[in-house]
Amino acid sequence: MIEFLVSGGPVMIPIGLASVVALAAFLERLVALRRGRVAPRGLARELVELLRQRRWGDALAACRKDDVAVSRLVETALLARGRPRAQIKERLEEVGRREAAELERMSQVLGTVAAVAPLLGLLGTVWGMILTFEVIQQQGVGVVSSLAGGISQALITTMAGLSVGIPALVAYRWVLARADDLVLELEDTALLALDLLSEEAGGAAAADADGASA
């Protein structure tokens, strides 16, 4: 197997490195995008329930106990409690953009490998065909064995590039889809928190108005 890969020529080196980088990036995202690392359902339900009960201190303590994306969003909303809805929403959007970028981190590495690996395979193909034509120019086409090396190198690099590029593309699409699903869950929780805190702010403002009129 090693001899087979070595026969692909020097282009096999960057293709091999690309495969290692893609695998490392995918494994890292596989761990980072677990629901328990981003938005545990139990924690999200607990936080929403605490907000409904207006137990702000307990909700803040629960957020700080688990350092995950959903708790950071709810904590941001809690720290902005009492401000107008627009200001709370603006803060949530700022933190949400940062959390979304964190979820999509390393995805571009997979996308780059998916695009570059087949091109490297094509480069190896062109290199192998150049070697083949050089042999033809020097020895003619009478000896088939003398042509086999360049043709074999061309085909091996093509296969290697596609063998790395196709799984990298699938992994890239999976990472983006998974990140989008988690972002939607974070948005749902953030909207619930925003609505509950806006109701609380609205109720406090109404109470202040009633007190002033009295």
Mean pLDDT calculated for residue range 182-202: 85
For residue 4, the model assigns a pLDDT of 56
108: alpha, beta or left, given left = phi > 0 and alpha = psi -120 to 50?
alpha
Mean pLDDT calculated for residue range 137-163: 71
Instruction: Note the pLDDT tens digit of each residue in 20-57.
Output: 999 999 999 999 999 898 989 899 999 999 999 989 99
How many degrees, rounded to 5, is the angle at CA 74 between CA 87 and CA 205?
Answer: 45
Q: Any idea what DSSP says for residue 83?
A: S
How many degrees, rounded to 5, is the angle at CA 62 between CA 50 and CA 67?
Answer: 135
- Please state the domain extents for the chain: 2-206
> Helix, strand, or coil here: 80?
coil
Distance CA 156, CA 152 (A): 6
Q: Any idea what DSSP says for residue 140?
A: -
Mean pLDDT calculated for residue range 194-203: 72
Q: Any idea what DSSP says for residue 143?
A: -
Distance CA 88, CA 197 (A): 9
Is the per-residue pLDDT at 130 higher than 50? Answer: yes
Name which of 21, 73, 51 is nearest 182 in CA terms. 73
pLDDT range class, residue 12, cuts 50, 70, 90: confident
Instruction: Note the pLDDT tens digit of each residue in 59-100.
Output: 999 999 988 999 999 999 999 888 888 888 999 999 999 999
Task: Decide if 5 contacts 117 (C-beta within 8 A).
Answer: no
Distance CA 21, CA 38 (A): 24
For residue 168, the model assigns a pLDDT of 96
Instruction: Report the range of poorest mean pLDDT among 96-105, 112-121, 139-148, 162-171.
Output: 139-148
For residue 3, the model assigns a pLDDT of 65
How many degrees, rounded to 5, is the angle at CA 100 between CA 96 and CA 103?
Answer: 140
Instruction: Note the pLDDT tens digit of each residue in 156-172.
Output: 888 889 999 999 999 99
How many degrees, rounded to 5, is the angle at CA 153 between CA 156 and CA 113?
Answer: 50
